[in-house]
Amino acid sequence: MSAKTITNVEAFNAAPEDYQTAVRKIVRSHAVNELYGAQVFDEPAIALAPTPYAKWLTCRVAMEEYGHHVRFRELGRQIGLSEDEMTPKGRRPLSIFEFPLKTWEEFCVIKLLADLAEIIQVEDLNHCSFQPLRNLARVTMPEEKFHAQFGKDFCTELCRTAEGRAKVQDAINRYFPLMPPFFGRSDSANNALFRKWGIKQNNNDDMRADFIARARALVEDHLHLKLPEVREAA
Ligand SMILES: [Fe+2]
Ligand SMILES: [Fe+2]
């Protein structure tokens, strides 16, 4: 077991091949998913936002999500990934990206719950053995927290009317079941490798359980809506 800190790209280049491959996988997946999400959800949401104030905040969210892609892509470039590998083109998307955004309520639910999933992933990287990735996670975190708070604030506001509550519940019913699989398979060989090298700290099922518990607190205790039942293992 080796979890010693790799402080920079030079040390990374001298690290075992297995370690390099594992870090590249994580950086590539973040670069791809940040860009995918920005294109499919955040940018289209600017047009759906109902007021100038909501548009302004949504522009900020979109700017930051594109910014996350730019940061991960830059780190990916430094550790030997090509630009082509770090865009959604030609890869099978996460299932959530296959449902184009149609309403403002859907966007608010995605920020409430999908950005919570992102926070849990980024929290795990806050202790990553590859220091440049750890640093990147730490600067990204306050922005992801802002996105989740944005989702919470707008969902809370929407839930003040019966019509708004019904629309938020409907979006939760359709989007939430797509989210637990984000955390990967229970028996993931990749995840075992990430933990062996101290790149990640937690196993997929523990992160998924944490996500479901925190999502339940938001949806049921805070919004007083219903969280659909999902399988805790994948
Ligand atoms: Fe992000
Ligand atoms: Fe985000």
Residue pLDDT, tens place only, 211-227: 999 999 999 999 999 99
Q: How many domains does the chain have?
A: 1
* Å from CA of 50 to ligand 1 middle: 23
Dist. CA 115 → ligand 2 center (Å): 5
231 in a structural domain: no
Res 4: pLDDT: 86
| Cα distance between residue 219 and residue 156, in whole Å | 10
| Structural domain includes residue 230 | no
Q: Report the percent of the chain where pLDDT is more than 90.
A: 91
Q: Is 146 exposed, middle or buried (0-12, 13-18, 19+ CB in 10 A)?
A: middle
Cα→Cα distances 198→89, 129, 192, 194, Å: 30, 5, 10, 6
In a domain, 132, yes or no: yes
Q: How confident is the model at residue 229 (pLDDT cuts 50, 70, 90)?
A: very high
User: Domain for residue 89, yes or no?
Assistant: yes
Q: Quote the ligand 1 centre to 106 CA distance (angstroms).
A: 17
Measure 96 CA to ligand 1 centroid, in angstroms: 15
Please report whether residue 4 resides in a domain: no
Q: Which residue range is the domain that position 196 belongs to?
A: 9-222
pLDDT of residue 94: 82
**Mean pLDDT score of the chain:** 95
Chain segment 162-209, per-residue pLDDT in tens: 999 999 999 999 999 999 999 999 999 999 999 999 999 999 999 999
CA of 162 to the centre of ligand 1 (A): 31
- DSSP letter for each residue of 67-125: HHHHHHHHHHHHTT--GGGGSSTTSPPPGGGGS----HHHHHHHHHHHHHHHHHHHHHH
Q: What is the pLDDT of residue 57?
A: 98
Q: Tell me: the pLDDT tens digits for 88-103?
A: 887 777 888 888 899 9
State the CATH number of the domain containing residue 35: 1.20.1260.10
Full-model pTM: 0.95
State in Å: Cα 115 to ligand 1 middle.
Answer: 7
Q: Name the burial class of residue 126, with classes exposed (0-12), middle (13-18) and buried (19+) by CB atoms within 10 angstroms of its CB.
A: middle
The string of pLDDT tens digits covering residues 144-159 is 999 999 999 999 999 9
Q: 228 lies in a domain?
A: no
Q: Picking from 75-79, 140-144, 223-227, 230-234, which range would have the lowest pLDDT averaged per residue?
A: 230-234
Contact 76, 28 (CB under 8 A): yes
